[in-house]
Amino acid sequence: MLWFMTRNAYRTNTKLVKDWLKFPELRLIDRFDFLAPVALATALYAIGEVLQAYWPTSGVSGLQMVVWGFVLSTVALYHVTFSINSLAHRLGSRRYDTRDESRNNWWLALLTFGEGWHNNHHHFPSSARQGFFWWEVDLTYYGLVVLSWLGIVWELKPVPARVLSPAQETPKKGDDRCELPSSGLASADV
């Protein structure tokens, strides 16, 4: 555990996402990635202190807001994220014959807003959608669709009809299902 905090895991490997470099806003966020968590913790603390000062009967303090709104939520997020890399390769069903042991798991999909449709993702990783069918709830995809309506993201790559067939063969090297998206992270293709 904590592999994500090692020096090797910290830096973005720009060789894998060369088109990412053309987006200055993404480079800025990557360079100053600590600012968002610090801003969130600071805002939560300030809100808690304001609540304590102006509504003392609420029993809320700045420290409580930081613990509940930042520390515990971050720990829960880490555990749910890490569960995809372990449980989604052990528990659930395999609709597609992929080269790995990825599985679709409905309860992981609910906890992770769609990541639990992991076998779908391994079958066609360049799609923005992981819940391929209407009954596979994918809240992340629904959020991306709303962002596309607002013009914040664009070029959401759909799941082609040919990919939806369970008889689809395992992807070969060079198949578009194995390639990283070429249009950049801002297009939400990943």
Over residues 18-55, the pLDDT tens digits come to: 888 888 888 898 889 889 999 999 999 999 999 999 99
Q: Position of tokens 């904590």?
A: 2
Q: Tell me, what DSSP letter sits at residue 103?
A: -
Q: Which helix (H) or strand (E) holds 80?
A: helix 72-86
Task: Output phi, psi for 104, to 5 deg.
Answer: -90, 135
Distance CA 73, CA 60 (A): 17
Q: What are phi and psi of 105, to 5 degrees?
A: -140, 115
Digits of tens for pLDDT over the chain (190 positions)?
A: 666 677 776 777 788 888 888 888 888 988 898 899 999 999 999 999 999 999 999 999 999 999 999 999 999 998 998 899 889 999 999 999 999 999 999 999 999 999 999 999 999 999 999 999 999 999 999 999 999 999 999 999 989 888 887 655 444 444 444 433 333 333 333 3
pLDDT of residue 2: 67
Q: Where exactly are the structural domains of the chain?
A: 20-89, 93-190
Dist CA 140 CA 127 (whole Å): 12
Among 137, 189, 182, smallest CA distance to 22 is for: 182
Q: Is residue 116 within 8 Å of 88, Cβ to Cβ?
A: yes
Tell me, what's the pLDDT at 3? 67
pTM: 0.70
Q: Is residue 120 classed exposed, middle or buried when 0-12, 13-18 and 19+ CB atoms within 10 A define those classes? A: buried
For the four alpha carbons of 67, 72, 75 and 78, in that order, the dihedral sign comes to: negative
Residue 99 is predicted with a pLDDT of: 92
Neighbours of 169 (CB within 10 A): 9
Q: Which residue has the tokens 């209407």?
A: 134
Task: Give the per-residue pLDDT at 183.
Answer: 36
Per-residue pLDDT, 164: 80
**Cα separation, 133 vs 115, whole angstroms:** 14
